[in-house]
Amino acid sequence: MQEKLTLMIPGPTPVPEKVLMAMGKHPIGHRSAEFQHVVQRTSELLKWLHQTNNDVLSITGSGTAAMEAGIINTLSKGDRVVCGDNGKFGERWVKVAKSYGLDVEVVKADWGQPLDPETFKELLDADFEKKIRAVILTHSETSTGVINDLETISKYVHNHGKALTISDCVTSLGACNVPMDDWGIDVIASGSQKGYMMPPGLSFVAMSKRAWDANKDSDLPKFYLDLKQYQKTVVKNSNPFTPAVNLFFALQASLEMMQQEGLESIFNRHGRHRDAAQAGMKAMDLPIFSATGYGSPSITAVAPKNIDAEILRKAVKDKYDILLAGGQDHLKGKVFRIGHLGFVSDRDVLTAIAAIESTLVSLGINNSNLGAGVAAASKFLN
Amino acid sequence: MQEKLTLMIPGPTPVPEKVLMAMGKHPIGHRSAEFQHVVQRTSELLKWLHQTNNDVLSITGSGTAAMEAGIINTLSKGDRVVCGDNGKFGERWVKVAKSYGLDVEVVKADWGQPLDPETFKELLDADFEKKIRAVILTHSETSTGVINDLETISKYVHNHGKALTISDCVTSLGACNVPMDDWGIDVIASGSQKGYMMPPGLSFVAMSKRAWDANKDSDLPKFYLDLKQYQKTVVKNSNPFTPAVNLFFALQASLEMMQQEGLESIFNRHGRHRDAAQAGMKAMDLPIFSATGYGSPSITAVAPKNIDAEILRKAVKDKYDILLAGGQDHLKGKVFRIGHLGFVSDRDVLTAIAAIESTLVSLGINNSNLGAGVAAASKFLN
């Protein structure tokens, strides 16, 4: 049977019919009053989602563009930064920072382990000359399904007094609590194809007052990603360059749906899905890849022992048309990842577990306790 | 009456139903075999549209992002470039070039006038030391409705031997002949919401072999707009960052429609619409803003004498729900612009002229010869 795909990857995530319909409308002029209303409304809702009074700027581009914008709009060539790296996206920010000639100190943790906040604290405490300009890290590491302790690290950065916290919240925003102002995060980058329940194509950068202060001294060259141009126009409910008008229609529709559900309810749903997915996998004797207590609310990475993860993943796709994500880089074949991010219901999670369970049997993998995965997950869904 | 808007601005342009429907589908995984087919097919069609054997790279972003990518991937800090400036977009490329510390010599023409190819020739001929690394210009200047003589200028650049031709073809590609390989253009930037008949959100950069050679020495910092990353992945029918998947669906649908119409037919249609629009305006005693013989095939800028252009433009919008473009910067109120770019039929052009004619009468502007505009335009449409 064709055309009945279910996405359970960490992006693109499933998109509600209402959002697709909004996106499929005829475009309108991006300098029209009608479009200004869309920008005004989405700007308000973006502040709500980020739990902030800061402006949240929308860029036509991927999450990487937003993250790069956060870095190049606050820092200067040669600036010392500390970069957390415990997965593919942590690695990416190290690359971005080095591309722009920053002086990067990398704090590593093994893939599957969280970053240790105390290592950041030690580096920050030892920086008497206040040379560290930013701590750059990924909140939810999509490649490993690990959530880092952004709250604690951000607190340590504040105690330092000079450095900024620049965070990739691409798969945490809209999935768990990321209160920008309360936690004092200076830059938050996110992307539309994640918790936003939208197709890819828009990304978002929120900048604190401290980040804008740092912007004044930033000397890295930029044009399309020059956030000052976005700041100047957003107050007029406009954009510096032609934005992806139809994606803005989708953004308004999806943010309104999110507001209707409520932040608390969204966060609970994602937490429940993580717990259900983890319990289901463990009951099937499939080990969770992320360290205990550090499972991301949006991705569960699983490291099966008796079967190549790619074989299992492909079999689930072929038989049940559920697309799971594979392992990246050295984790290819070792790990598969269940995306439970965005427009994902309890039914979807239960279905994915049932499909994995059924597929394991069809692949002849020993599973003496058939039904155990669904039973274990159900407990968290009821 | 609501919801019956007709766009006649130079972008966003009208989008065919088939393209909207393609875009409104549920997204699929951007690393899936299904999506690789989309990338493969659109890559082939993009080469066809550019009349080139070079790879054409797709970026999620606006035309400015594509143009910036063309500049920062071929040049280095301090490089001497000659930049054509005869309108708002020419001005923009000067700003981009200066943002990256290039040594910019500006060749100006008044707004409404074309760039003089001989000025470029003189500068290039006098450059015995071969210091000029690029000539940067806009082919169709959207702000003034002027088409520059890219073919001749590109020929002069080739005679120089060292410099590259970097051209903004945002409102010329898919509207008139831009044979990349035949004319020896090194970089072509374009955007989806123009001749492509798509909503905004994707942009495209084509790079010649000479441009890739120059890329090896380019030292300007970049990451999201690093075209090498796009080149590496496009050969695998993939993308370096999560692309706007749904816009790729739309791209495939629109390029297939364009190929069905055929390049010759598309170019003839745009030429016919320019001629009809110009004839219609002149018959109504509304002067064409662009110099005679240099009217863009995609935009006709009109400078009415007896009425504020904004008043006329707004009246046409209010009464007939046709959105014309206003004048930009110092041309605001002095000029309005008819976009006849992309998915625009003979009927649309005739309708716009009839609506302008009718509105002039309702505004009490002397028009002794009512019907003259439609009559004059009709001659070019039959």
Q: Do A21 and B26 touch (CB under 8 A)?
A: no
Average pLDDT of span B70-79: 98
Q: What is the pLDDT of residue B367?
A: 66
Q: What is the pLDDT of residue B356?
A: 97
Distance from CA of A308 to the nearest CA of B (A): 19
> Chains A, B: CB contacts under 8 A, how many?
164
CA A133 to chain centre: 24
DSSP-assigned letters across all residues of A192-242: TTTTT-S-SSEEEEEE-HHHHHHHTT-----STT-HHHHHHHHTTT--SS-
pLDDT tens for each residue of B109-167? 999 999 999 999 999 999 999 999 999 999 999 999 999 999 999 999 999 999 999 99
Nearest chain A residue to B31 by CA distance is: A325
Nearest chain A residue to B4 by CA distance is: A26
CATH 3.90.1150.10 placement within chain B:
6-12+263-381
Q: What is the pLDDT of residue A203?
A: 98
Q: Do A99 and B247 touch (CB under 8 A)?
A: no
- Chain A residues close to B96, C-beta within 8 Å: 223
Q: Do A200 and B243 touch (CB under 8 A)?
A: yes
Q: Please list, in sequence order, all residues whose beta carbon lies within 8 angstroms of the beta carbon of residue B161, skipping any fewer than 6 positions away.
A: B130
Looking at per-residue pLDDT, the higher value among B285 and A366 belongs to B285
* Mutation choice for B interface testing from A3, A94, A99, A224 by most B CBs within 10 A: A224
User: B17-260: what fold?
Assistant: Aspartate Aminotransferase; domain 2 (3.40.640)
CA A258 to chain centre: 16
- Chain B residues close to A9, C-beta within 8 Å: 29
- Chain A residues close to B246, C-beta within 8 Å: 23, 199-201
Q: Could you read off the pLDDT tens digit of each residue along chain A, which spans 382 residues?
A: 888 999 999 999 999 999 999 999 999 999 999 999 999 999 999 999 999 999 999 999 999 999 999 999 999 999 999 999 999 999 999 999 999 999 999 999 999 999 999 999 999 999 999 999 999 999 999 999 999 999 999 999 999 999 999 999 999 999 999 999 999 999 999 999 999 999 999 999 999 999 999 999 999 999 999 999 999 999 999 999 999 999 999 999 999 999 999 999 999 999 999 999 999 999 999 999 999 999 999 999 999 999 999 999 999 999 999 999 999 999 999 999 999 999 999 999 999 999 999 999 999 986 678 899 999 999 999 8
Q: What is the pLDDT of residue A1?
A: 82
* Mutation choice for B interface testing from A4, A7, A25, A62 by most B CBs within 10 A: A62
CA B218 to chain centre: 26
Nearest chain B residue to A8 by CA distance is: B29
Question: Which residue from A12, A223, A242 is facing B68, i.e. has the nearest CB?
Answer: A223
Q: How far apart are the first and last CA of chain A?
A: 31
pLDDT tens for each residue of B318-352? 999 999 999 999 999 999 999 999 999 999 999 99
Q: Do B27 and A63 touch (CB under 8 A)?
A: no
- Chain A residues close to B95, C-beta within 8 Å: 223
DSSP-assigned letters across all residues of B186-238: SEEEEETTTTT-S-SSEEEEEE-HHHHHHHTT-----STT-HHHHHHHHTTT-
Q: What is the pLDDT of residue B366?
A: 67
Class assignment of domain B6-12+263-381? alpha beta
Question: Which residue from A25, A221, A242 is facing B101, i.e. has the nearest CB?
Answer: A221
Distance from CA of B344 to the nearest CA of A (A): 14
Q: Do B99 and A61 touch (CB under 8 A)?
A: no
CA distance B304 to B281: 9
Q: Do B223 and A68 touch (CB under 8 A)?
A: yes
CATH number for region A6-12+262-381 = 3.90.1150.10
Q: Is the predicted ipTM greater than 0.95, yes or no?
A: yes
CATH 3.40.640.10 placement within chain B:
17-260
**Residue listed under structure tokens 């991006």:** A30
CA distance A76 to A38: 34
Average pLDDT of span B16-23: 98
Please answer whether residues B187 and B205 qualify as being in contact, where contact means their C-beta atoms are separated by less than 8 angstroms: yes
- Chain B residues close to A23, C-beta within 8 Å: 23-24, 246
Measured in degrees and rounded to the nearest 5, phi and psi for residue A325 equal -95, 150
Q: Do A65 and B241 touch (CB under 8 A)?
A: yes
Nearest chain B residue to A226 by CA distance is: B99
Nearest chain B residue to A317 by CA distance is: B32
What pTM did the predictor assign? Answer: 0.98
**Residue listed under structure tokens 């970089």:** B187
Nearest chain B residue to A250 by CA distance is: B24
- Torsion-angle region of B15 (φ positive above 0: left; ψ -120 to 50: alpha; else: beta): beta
Q: Do A199 and B246 touch (CB under 8 A)?
A: yes
- Chain B residues close to A245, C-beta within 8 Å: 12, 193, 199-201
